[in-house]
Structure 1
Amino acid sequence: MILNTVSLLNYKNFESQTFEFDPKINCFVGANGIGKTNVLDAIHHLAFGKSYFNPVALQNIKHNEDFFVIEGNFTKNDRQEKIVVSLKRGQKKIIKRNGKLYEKFSEHIGLIPLVIISPADRDLISDGSDVRRKFIDNVISQNDKQYLSALINYNKILSQRNALLKYFALNNTFNAQTLSIYNEQLELYGEEIYEKRDAFLQEFIPIFSKQYNAISAGKEQVSLQYKSDLSEEKLTQLLENNLQKDKALQYTSIGIHKDDLVFKIEDFPIKKFGSQGQQKSYLIALKLAQFNFMKKQSGVAPILLLDDIFDKLDEHRVAKLIALVDQEQFGQIFISDTHAERTEDVVKQIHQSYKIFIL
């Protein structure tokens, strides 16, 4: 998977700009706030139809402009792919592949395999379980359309069940038969999602452990565990057991939408007991494991975006990371950094062709 060119029009701080890329390594260097991360985010937009950093789509339009357009030209398995993402104020976002409009954005997911490593990943450690579920869903969905479809259906039925619980409370009524229909549908999709998440993590966790050991040189032991209500009981039984609680709360309090990943270092929560360097190493290992898993599943090396990753890593960990990247399994890499000399020193160690963009 190679990104040949990107053109930006009214995207974030860019008025009009085109970049032609090296097939191996591309570096964006410059002061903070100059737009390095925005270029990486534009590439993420082309892969997923949305920003990695700003969920409010309209805020990605340049100030005082009415629209943005991102155009990317890719080569995948010797075939050219032209992707255009555009948004105009007051209208829906549009994604086109080779001039053809997608009816559903979900149809696009997986076409452009991509992994991003960024300081924003710290949310995976610091924030709630929804961020960690999104990580699992993102990895699986890029290679499994059926999983993505089940997830969309589950969330739709979950919203309907929650609306029904609110209706019961507001009208001081209850209908067990209607509720059971939603319970059965949640069971149908929930069990499929649980089984696929469980199977994915059984394969993913050993890959992650290997990546962390490589970065840290085996200095500390880390673990990654999958936590789900469905590991104990069937979802319909869980929903029945929690009925009174759900009626009181007016929403569904149990199910795969409450799944979580538990991150530990030396058997303690990494959020409380891991240093900044250890936490960053943990997150990088997670994302490199994602890269390896996706490549194994699809046979295509994902595009790798490394956003400001050299900060808060000591020289030893940077060297280990570079040794990991300096392997044939990696395809095209995009790096952003504030220090031009540091970046060039690093990329020279990777022994691949490279291009540096000074912004």
Structure 2
Amino acid sequence: MFLSRLKINHFKNHSEADLSFNEKINCFVGDNGVGKTNLLDAIYYLSFTKSCFNAVDAQNIQHQRDFFALHGYYKNQDEVEDRVSCIQPRGKKKQFRFNKKDYDRLSDHIGKIPLVMISPYDRDLINDGSEVRRKYLDGVISQFDTFYLAGLLEYNKALQQRNTLLKQFAEHHYFDELSLKIWDEKLIQYGESLFKKRKAFFDEFNPLFSKYYHYLSQGKEEVEIVYKSTLQEKPLAELLNESVRRDLAVRYTTTGIHKDDLLLLINGYPVKKFGSQGQQKSFVIAIKLAQFEYMRQQKGFKPILLFDDIFDKLDENRVAQIVELVSEENFGQVFITDTQPSRIRAIFDKINIAHKIFEVTPEKIRELT
């Protein structure tokens, strides 16, 4: 599957654009601040029904405009074209359509157009808290397992209800064990299933991750992602029972899969503390490339791959190495942003692969010949 055409109206800083893409590699070049990343975000929107960078849909409408509209035209292996549209009027509900038909639930669209985005913000996986890593993990699995996404939504609903009940107990100085057990059973039902799926995912994901990191680092370091969950120690029923007193004291649920985390290790030590900037960059790129290959295996076709600010913290030889890698048959359509057209041209002078280069300025986007 690849994106053959993208139409934009009043999205962020872009008033209007109608772009036709190469099915292999497409590059957006231009100065910082002209909207290269916004073009990638428009493509991201059409896969995930939301922005990668701004969760408030209305804030993605261009200033002084009443709406934004995104239309993507996708072709699959059989050359059948699908149209995906996202229209956000200011002050009204977002409209999201697949072949002109509105979705009843936006979550039904997740996974239809699998996509992997690599950006400087991926360093948050290393530097930020466990919530960022759990969100990433859930986002990956949800793209190929609709039952996982449905279970996660149910788990979070039950968690919210249980936390509300714990607060009521504390505020009104009473305790109703039967009421709490109702939500315990929901957490156990969905939490145990989600835990097993997360664990199974990492059993298959880690070898792919190690392979790509070794490629990027030329085998200089050993890396590992360790999935950490209290459910590895005891069943969730036991954990919830043991934590009741603590939960009552702090007024929220202190154990469960919503507390899971990932340990990111280089040579056995946390990459956050002991990895250089270049090693950390290679670490997150390897995670995303492994994600791409895993999703390709699960879906049976190639996701779209977005590279934002590809030269950040990497030398030109390493970037050329990555571009050469993604030009291979295992990879499909790729979008790249960079600030220097000459640097991108130099890479394609060395690597013979079909591509298009678009120059982005505040006024317009034009294809370079």
Aligned pair count reads: 359
Give 1:155's aligned residue.
Answer: 156
2:205 matched to 1:204?
A: yes
- Are the aligned partners of 1:216 and 1:317 in contact in 2 as well (CA < 8 Å)? no
Distance 1:85 1:192 in 2: 33
Specify the SS of the correspondent of 2:149. helix
2:38 matched to 1:38?
A: yes
C-alpha deviation, 1:314, in angstroms: 2.2
Could you tell me the percent identity over the aligned residues? 52
For 1:46-94, what per-residue CA distance to the aligned partner results, in whole angstroms no more than 9, with x for missing partners?
0000111112222111111121111100012322110001111222222
Give 2:94's aligned residue.
Answer: 93
Amino acid at match of 1:93: K
2:55 matched to 1:67?
A: no
Structure 2 residues not aligned, in runs of 5+: 361-369
Amino acid at match of 1:322: V
Structure 1 residues not aligned, in runs of 5+: none
- Are the aligned partners of 1:209 and 1:222 in contact in 2 as well (CA < 8 Å)? yes
Amino acid at match of 1:28: F
Distance 1:58 1:70 in 2: 14
Counting only pairs closer than 5 Å after superposition, residues 258-297 of structure 1 correspond to structure 2 as 258-297=259-298
2:13 matched to 1:13?
A: yes
Amino acid at match of 2:15: E
Counting only pairs closer than 5 Å after superposition, residues 161-176 of structure 1 correspond to structure 2 as 161-176=162-177
Specify the SS of the correspondent of 1:236. helix
- Are the aligned partners of 1:154 and 1:190 in contact in 2 as well (CA < 8 Å)? yes
2:135 matched to 1:137?
A: no
Distance 1:106 1:290 in 2: 20
Amino acid at match of 2:45: H
Amino acid at match of 1:75: K
Specify the SS of the correspondent of 1:168. helix
- Are the aligned partners of 2:58 and 2:91 in contact in 1 as well (CA < 8 Å)? no
Distance 1:55 1:279 in 2: 26
Amino acid at match of 1:107: D
- Are the aligned partners of 1:68 and 1:86 in contact in 2 as well (CA < 8 Å)? yes
C-alpha deviation, 1:219, in angstroms: 1.0
Distance 1:147 1:120 in 2: 25
- Are the aligned partners of 2:141 and 2:148 in contact in 1 as well (CA < 8 Å)? yes
C-alpha deviation, 1:343, in angstroms: 1.2
Give 1:76's aligned residue.
Answer: 76
Question: Cα RMSD between the aligned structures?
Answer: 1.1
Distance 1:271 1:353 in 2: 37
Distance 1:334 1:217 in 2: 25
Give 2:4's aligned residue.
Answer: 4
Quick check: 215-224 or 315-324, which moved more? 315-324
Q: Structure 1 residues 349, 290: closer, same or farther in 2, change over 3 A?
A: farther
Give 1:119's aligned residue.
Answer: 120
- Are the aligned partners of 2:8 and 2:70 in contact in 1 as well (CA < 8 Å)? yes
- Are the aligned partners of 2:114 and 2:304 in contact in 1 as well (CA < 8 Å)? yes
C-alpha deviation, 1:134, in angstroms: 1.3
Amino acid at match of 2:76: K
Amino acid at match of 2:239: L
Amino acid at match of 2:129: G
C-alpha deviation, 1:178, in angstroms: 0.8
TM-score (norm 1): 0.98
